[in-house]
Amino acid sequence: MANETKDYSRYFDFSDALISEDEHGKRIRIGGREIYIMSEPSYRREKQRGKEEIKVLYEEAVPEELRTFGKGKKYIIQTYGCQMNEHDTEVMKGLFEQMGFEWTDDRREADVILLNTCAVRENAEDKVFGELGNLKSLKLEKPELILGVCGCMSQEESVVGRILQKHAYVDLVFGTHNIHRLPILLRDAYFGKEMVVEVWSKEGDIIENLPKKREGMRAWVNIMYGCDKFCTYCIVPYTRGKERSRLPEDVIAEVRELARQGYREITLLGQNVNAYGKDFTDRDYRFADLMADLSKIDIPRIRFTTSHPRDFDDKLIEVLSRGGNLVEHIHLPVQSGSTEILKRMSRKYTRESYLELVRKIKAAIPDVVLTTDIIVGFPGETEEQFEETLSLVREVGFDSAYTFIYSPRAGTPAAEMEDNVPMEVKKERLIRLNDLVAELSKRSNEALRGRVVEVLVEGRSKSNPNMLSGRTRTNKLVHFEGSPEWIGSFVHVRVTDPQTWYIKAEPVRQETGAVS
């Protein structure tokens, strides 16, 4: 029997706690704490896809009067979830430091702690609430500490309602659409001495010129925001809003500047990068056009994530087949190998069309490495349908996969479906799938034994400080002995000992050196 439909409006029924309300927001009191709600999340509004024009703004996000606001103060941002969240954290770091704050790794030194959250899976949400519980004692010891929650979880009515009722010591809650408002919200939280909640349910304009604090030699570059696919299991279209693309001239200018600064690799980001440009009304310019233009920029490696099979067109395949700085790694989420389950997921492609797309990609890019995402135990998944997933994984020969047990997300259509696959069955299927993926990964790595590959050296190995660690063009992790001076450059190594999830290698000394 399907789950009972939830009335999400009840999460913001604080009529008994209302102090005042005007056109700027409302003030309520819960557990002795005043809460200023400037705007609140709404599932109903997040589902809407309006015709409003998205404006591109080039304003300074940090007002002049707040440029020294954080002088002498320190901050921490704890990031959960996907690369988009990592990129959002880079923006928030840039905003903090433009305000005069300094980063610290010691939370006891911090004046501001932000949790940048992920709403895609239940365990990520559980981790955040667990961390909030851990931070309560620190907040009691240090009442002047500003504790904030932002990111995708903040876009959920149920989450913000739970924070208001059970975690009233939180000072600041904001969402994914109003990150650029962080300086103003911080100021209000500091001086108001109350919880400040501002979560925009409808996405705002595209804000350019936001400061970013990047580290290392690899950079994230966001090319678009939001998603219009509405897969039945996914909360992202609600938390990130409708698809809206940055102007190509702004993306190209950012990548050119990163090349000038010496970055060795960039990753283009979007919930569905293949949909880039489909929202433009004044030009015929799509993702393949952007990739073709970026391939002309003098930066050694360009990759992208994540892509949707339905929007992966022939023109993009042709552009990627040209190689150069466009790498041979494609992350292509499939989610299930069963056409029937794909239909229930509203993925809008079939098993057969996915395999045909893979055939086209492999024909055009013979040395391509494909990785994917897969969900097991989706409502109604039979053993036969799960076997279809295993057979598709074998047929494609994925090099690796992110695999997950299905968990319902409140507010999505799948949450109203009967979750009728027992947990023990889900776990058993996940083990079988992971065993197969491990087998394929080991086989793929073994095929590289004795071959020379190019590695971008990222740093010392986390498990052995005497070893260096880096990645190939196809995103394979490589460990090898070498000089710390090589960090940040490209070296050529010979594969000596392929493992399941990484490769051991040795430098080819006469070929070692930076690649311009």
Instruction: Give pTM, 2 decimals.
Output: 0.92
- Tell whether residue 234 is among the known ligand binding residues: yes
H, E, C per residue of 147-184: EEEEEHHHHCHHHHHHHHHHCCCCCEEECCCCHHHHHH
Angle (CA) 78-79-81 rounded to 5° is 155
Residue indicated by tokens 């789950």: 3
Is residue 277 classed as helix, strand or coil in its secondary structure? coil
Predicted pLDDT at 59: 84
- Tell whether residue 227 is among the known ligand binding residues: yes
- Tell whether residue 118 is among the known ligand binding residues: yes
Q: How far apart are CA 102 and CA 111, in angstroms?
A: 10
Among residues 261, 15, 48, 14, the alpha carbon closest in space to that of 160 is found at 14
Contact 96, 218 (CB under 8 A): no
What angle do the packed helices 423-446 and 383-396 form, to 10 degrees?
10
Q: How many helices (H) and strands (E) does the chain have?
A: 13, 24
In the chain, the amino acid numbered 6 is K
Query: How large a percentage of the chain has pLDDT more than 70?
Result: 96
Q: How far apart are CA 222 and CA 206, in angstroms?
A: 11
Average pLDDT over residues 126-131: 93
- Tell whether residue 150 is among the known ligand binding residues: no
> For the segment 199-256, what is each residue's pLDDT rounded down to a tens digit?
998 887 899 999 999 988 999 999 999 999 999 999 999 999 999 999 999 999 999 9
Return the H-helix or E-strand segment holding 295. none
Return the H-helix or E-strand segment holding 484. none
Q: How far apart are CA 487 and CA 469, in angstroms?
A: 9
Q: How does residue 510 score in pLDDT terms, banded at 50, 70 and 90? A: very low
The tokens describing 354, both together, are 């996915």
Predicted pLDDT at 11: 63
Does the bond joining 306 to the residue before it have cis omega, within 30 degrees of 0?
yes
